[in-house]
Amino acid sequence: MVWSDQEIIRLSAQFVTVADEVYMLYPEDPGNLNRVKDDPAHLFFKKFGESMPPGDWNHPGTKQGIYMMGPNGEYLEGKFAAASNPADIQARLRRAIQRWDALRQSKGYANSPIPAVKATYPPDVSGELIFRVNSRDLPRGAGDRSGRRITEAERTSNAFMDFTKWAWNETWVGVAKTQSFVPDSGGTGAVPISVARSIARIALLDNVRGQNPEWRDQDIKNIAIRMKVVRDSNGSQVIEYTGSAQITDGNKSFSATCYGEGVYDSKAGKFSRLDLVWLGMRGGAAQFNQRANDRGPAPMGVTMSLFNE
């Protein structure tokens, strides 16, 4: 909601913009906190937080939020748990920019142009194939609107609290080797079971409405992804993928079938595109995925699309 606001997008251009996970930067448990106590990133963020006005920094407790700081951690603006109100973030950005204008003059900061970077995946995702994974609810019957888009009226109102009506999610999964998705010389094959199980564990789960931890290996009861070259034109191959998965931990579950296609240049050894769609029934609820009142079974879709930078 906040980051799709056009004015916020415009104001953010004054900053080096960064998104990162906070629990390991400023852990809430004593064990991990002790581990980072001398880490310069932790100390930098801690010092900034302790300079914030009371009520805007949350200690002890979650440090999730939106923060604006000078290059040496000087306080400009910010608030914990502050990603839901565009008007509030606009106001904080404007105050931060005013404070920055005074600060940069007093300290002689260069305020040099900020190089553009493309949005990318989290740094712990790696492999020759990087898949963007999206999940969304699917219609449950005639007239049901599960999986619909947010409307412009909802986007600009406080209706964001009803996000379950239009929720979707995006995560990432890396596959070490391109060849895992290429059939053998006979034109058919199966994605290695270890790769398929890894994909199931990380990607085939219900995070449509919120956080849901990865499956344990023993939860993956069955998974198979078969592949077949269906067209080959002078080394440019179209590969078809079909498969299925049954996953359950006794509470949560997802059973799905898969179809996908990839375009593979066998001379270059690279995919130009590779998309898989998993459709099936999910059930149960995790602690933070907002399914306590919607335990299913209900249909859900998960897509995997190759990310080409």
| Residue from 183, 260, 262, 284 in contact with another protein (CB under 8 A) | 260
Which residues lie below 8 Å from residue 236, measured CB to CB, with a gap of 6+?
263, 264, 265, 266
Give residues 8-37 in contact with another protein (rule: CB under 8 A). Answer: 9, 12, 14-23, 25
| Residue from 128, 249, 275, 294 in contact with another protein (CB under 8 A) | 275
Give residues 93-122 in contact with another protein (rule: CB under 8 A). Answer: 93, 96, 100, 104, 109-114, 116-122
| Residue from 52, 57, 67, 86 in contact with another protein (CB under 8 A) | 67
* Residue in the block written with tokens 């060849």: 179
Binding region for another protein (CB under 8 A) out of 209-217, 220-228, 246-254, 264-272: 209-217
Give residues 172-201 in contact with another protein (rule: CB under 8 A). Answer: 172
Distance between CA 177 and CA 130 in Å, rounded? 10
The burial of 135, by beta-carbon neighbours within 10 Å (0-12 exposed, 13-18 middle, 19 or more buried), is given as buried
Q: If DSSP codes are grouped into helix, strand and coil, which group holds residue 35?
A: helix
Nearer to another protein, 18 or 185 (CB): 18
Q: Radius of gyration (Cα) for the chain, nearest Å?
A: 23
Give residues 148-177 in contact with another protein (rule: CB under 8 A). Answer: 149-150, 168-172
Which residues lie below 8 Å from residue 103, measured CB to CB, with a gap of 6+?
70, 74, 76, 109
DSSP state of 244: E
Distance of closest approach, residue 198 Cβ to another protein, in angstroms = 14
Distance of closest approach, residue 218 Cβ to another protein, in angstroms = 19
Give yes or no for residue 140 binding another protein (CB under 8 A): yes
